[in-house]
Chain A
């Protein structure tokens, strides 16, 4: 009889515990879906996975008594692989949220799948502005930066600093063209002139000299690089070789600290860029970044820092909501401002766009750089309201007017 009572007791308390915990499947599982070996593996890749793991460890590794797990996969920058992996993760692996999704094609493929299954996407890396505009979903957060912020930050501020005539060297596909178009608008609105553009095939161009000579011949004060990754790096390198810089200045529209590191300061010096994060901003960023450096051997890019911050914010939201139910968590994430080393008083709007401060930076010369990875001069902190489009400008169909 005593044994039976004891068993009943245990059963009852187990049932109560089950009721108390609102964590589905008994685990909070976050998938980092990123480019592990391709073009973007240096800006995201294994560094994003490290950042995600750090976020979980710093949170304590447990959520309301249940474990938190990070898994990762390589999407190879292919939309079909990304959406298939996402489906498998949601259906079979009990994944609650997918983070990173660098490169817009993969993010665009995964977002609708996640929305259909009521799971959350946390974008850090893709740039397409429409993800919180006409393609917005109710379960998406676009966290780190978008094309609008890049174009505005660099375009407007560089014109303000006196760079009022522009020539673009543009990657000849949708990303480059839309970045060129967005930036042109901003430059013109700020009172600058656009003198022309040279479009290069991408990827696959290794020699940019002929495009750069056109830019040189235009006499523009600023050469805007509407490309990314290796293309940008080669452009910068060859601009120096052909004596284009420093007579004309380069403005990189999407430049990461890993690119500057790959180029070396002697080549990259003087270039303007917009970034969401720099490791050497203040004590908080330095502290976190040094921890990251110890594990990864490189300073974090803005994408990787964004992955950490978005996962922390997501976990805090689950804790506050007391459940990992996607609707409740999304509501909590949007209601709570982001305050950590990455963002101060960042706000996630009803369209899913995380609006936070951005920074206009200029690459230091080797003489100005005092220690390893001392690469940027921060010229200006761009307030969130100026850096990102308003909810009205975004035209997200979910937001009722």
Chain B
């Protein structure tokens, strides 16, 4: 029983990372109709921005938590304006190909620069150590990661579903032309949305840096699961991707307890079943 609680807690931690990453993917797909394959690479970039900031400029973890998403967000802005914009209205496959190519270029370049073994990123001093929570040792940092991830997810959901700005976004998803006719600068909105989604990925990257090794392949290891999460939750559904992310983390945790060999596959099995029963995903709408 003790072990099960331990695994469930770990599942919750992983789940909140899934949620943070799939949220960004979902927002981008929902509005831009672009499958952002570069999401993993941008997550990696976020972690590297924090690492380089620390090593070269002495910028610590806390400022990096804000600065790194900003820097990578600006890069996202450029990607949207210079490249992605040209592909709207075409088959989503083109966007997928472009972002996949970007991933290969970014990962290759970072491998060349930093090697494959990756680099260590120190735990912030305030959050090192942990507490004994009866059934396991909970490192403070992991607890912090869960709380912050869920807060950011909830805030994003609230902005999109409950504010005026969010209503524009949702309107843009439904009918961008009509929205533009009402005087809203839709292209700018698209650009900023992409930048925000990308910044979320970078934010997750900074959060992950002290836990994992900051390495060029860190994104591609995670991105497959995150895509599965988005598909299960329903492409473009904001709440769906958050709930599914956390939920799948928990399911994975339970699998690790009951049948560890299945742990890496269980997400994909669920995905296959969901696609059979509800092709649009658990929270998605048929288009």
**Contacting residues, chain B, for A37 (C-beta < 8 A):** 108, 111, 116
Task: Report the minimal beta-carbon distance from B181 to chain A, rounded to whole angstroms.
Answer: 46
Q: Is the CB of B213 within 8 A of A213?
A: no
Flag the segment in B59-67, B146-154, B158-166, B257-265 that touches A: B257-265
Q: Which of B214-249 contact A (CB under 8 A)?
A: 215, 217-218, 221-222, 224
CA of A39 to CA of B118, assembled, Å? 11
A42, A205, A230, A237: which contacts B217 (Cβ < 8 A)?
A: A230
Q: Which of B235-287 contact A (CB under 8 A)?
A: 253, 256-257, 260-261, 263-264
Does any Cβ of B come within 8 Å of A21's Cβ?
A: no
Q: Which residue of B lies closest to A256 (CB)?
A: B117
Task: Report the minimal beta-carbon distance from A308 to chain B, rounded to whole angstroms.
Answer: 20
Does any Cβ of A come within 8 Å of B97's Cβ?
A: no
Total count of chain A residues near the partner, CB < 8 A = 39
Given contacts A210-B7, A262-B213, contact A230 B264 (CB under 8 A): no
**Contacting residues, chain B, for A172 (C-beta < 8 A):** 261
**Contacting residues, chain A, for B3 (C-beta < 8 A):** 213-214, 217
Flag the segment in A94-102, A149-157, A196-204, A355-363 that touches B: A196-204
Q: Is the CB of A41 within 8 A of B137?
A: no
Given contacts A201-B263, A210-B10, A243-B130, contact A263 B120 (CB under 8 A): yes
Q: Is the CB of B264 within 8 A of A237?
A: no
Q: Is the CB of B116 within 8 A of A38?
A: yes
Q: Is the CB of A262 within 8 A of B120?
A: yes
Does any Cβ of B come within 8 Å of A293's Cβ?
A: no
Does any Cβ of B come within 8 Å of A13's Cβ?
A: no
Task: Report the minimal beta-carbon distance from B8 to chain A, rounded to whole angstroms.
Answer: 10
Q: Is the CB of B212 within 8 A of A237?
A: yes
Q: Is the CB of A234 within 8 A of B212?
A: yes
CA of A199 to CA of B14, assembled, Å? 19
**Contacting residues, chain B, for A211 (C-beta < 8 A):** 260
Interface membership of chain B positions 67-111, coded 1 if the CB is closer than 8 angstroms to chain A and 0 otherwise? 000000000000000000000000000000000000000001001
**Contacting residues, chain A, for B119 (C-beta < 8 A):** 262
**Contacting residues, chain B, for A381 (C-beta < 8 A):** none
Task: Report the minimal beta-carbon distance from B239 to chain A, rounded to whole angstroms.
Answer: 25
Additional A-B contacts beyond A243-B137, A264-B122 (7; CB < 8 A): A205-B264, A207-B211, A230-B116, A237-B212, A241-B142, A242-B137, A243-B130
Residues of A within 8 A of B (CB): 37-42, 172, 198-199, 201, 203-207, 209-211, 213-214, 216-217, 229-230, 233-234, 237-238, 241-243, 258-259, 261-264, 266-267
